[in-house]
Amino acid sequence: MRRGFTSLFVLFICLALRAQQTTPAAPASASDADKARVFITDSQSWEYVTNSGGGGGVFASRGGGGARPQTAEIVKTFGERCPQIVTNNKMDKSDYVVVLDHEGGKSVLRHRNKVAVFARVSGDSIVSKSTVSLGGSVQDACEAVNRHWAAHGKEIRAAEASAAAANEPKVIPAAAVQDPPRTSAAKLTIASNPAGAEIEIDGSFVGNTPSEIEVAPGEHTVVVSKKGYAPWQKKLKATGGNVNLTADLEAAN
């Protein structure tokens, strides 16, 4: 009996010392932007059950109860134990997700608290263990986040900035937007000797001489033909402006 009491006393002393531990505070110059952001949640309810039995006129009873873990209390404990960590209520804006199972309604020795911490971007678990007290769970989570953040904090922030930049709409300055070069149509003035000949441009009939015809800039083939005369053909490259063409038709043999 004495040995059991001594073991129990030593256990309580250890818990008291653990509760007094704090992780080193961040440098005074560190801003919230330099700190790890943590989202805290719980995963299940706790419950307690009591039984008492009897017989021969002695009463018997059974009782039970339960409640959700007090996440606000956990957040408060984080603020006290981990001043270098910022708690955040938006998971997608946090660097780490802390999951706690905090059992209540039981004696200290029956508590089976559990804690798991995940790096949000990669989804990797950086700690997963059981503890006796809520303070111990918070302490374990705090130490795990501090270690991981010291080793990978810059990488996490760089990946976050890169993802944000990729999702931002691209804005092109007005000065950088250039209108496509404007090209004006070329005007062909086509006459023939004798007049009244048919005009084809790039294989399509467009009228009789004399005529003024607009064509798009580029290379074109002009054919002037009249019955009883040999066809007249001209290839040209129109670049705008006016072009005068006169087809001297030769009688066909």
Check residue 76 and give its pLDDT.
82
Q: Which two tokens stand for residue 137?
A: 């769970």
Rounded distance between C-alpha atoms, residue 211 and residue 215, angstroms: 13
23-49+62-158 under CATH 3.30.70, yes or no: no
Check residue 72 and give its pLDDT.
75
pLDDT over 70, % of the chain? 66
**Is residue 228 scored above 50 in pLDDT?**
yes
Q: Which two tokens stand for residue 166?
A: 């990729």
Q: Are 174 and 195 spatial neighbours (Cβ–Cβ below 8 Å)?
A: no
In the chain, domain spans:
23-49+62-158, 186-248
Average pLDDT, the chain: 74
Rounded distance between C-alpha atoms, residue 48 and residue 67, angstroms: 10
Task: Give the residue with greater pLDDT, 47 vs 195.
Answer: 195
Rounded distance between C-alpha atoms, residue 232 and residue 218, angstroms: 20
Mean pLDDT value across residues 108-137: 77
In this chain, the answer to whether the domains covering 23-49+62-158 and 186-248 adopt an identical fold is no
Strand order in the sheet with 36-42: 85-87, 36-42, 96-101, 113-119, 125-131
Highest mean predicted confidence (pLDDT) among 2-16, 18-32, 142-156: 142-156
Q: Name the pLDDT band for 184 (thresholds 50, 70, 90).
A: confident
Q: Is 133 exposed, middle or buried (0-12, 13-18, 19+ CB in 10 A)?
A: middle
Q: State in Å, rounded, how far the first CA of the chain is from the last one.
A: 139
186-248 under CATH 3.30.470.20, yes or no: no
**Is residue 95 scored above 50 in pLDDT?**
yes
Identify the three-state secondary structure at position 167. helix
Q: Name the pLDDT band for 67 (thresholds 50, 70, 90).
A: very low
Q: Are 117 and 127 spatial neighbours (Cβ–Cβ below 8 Å)?
A: yes
Task: Give the residue with greater pLDDT, 150 vs 8.
Answer: 150
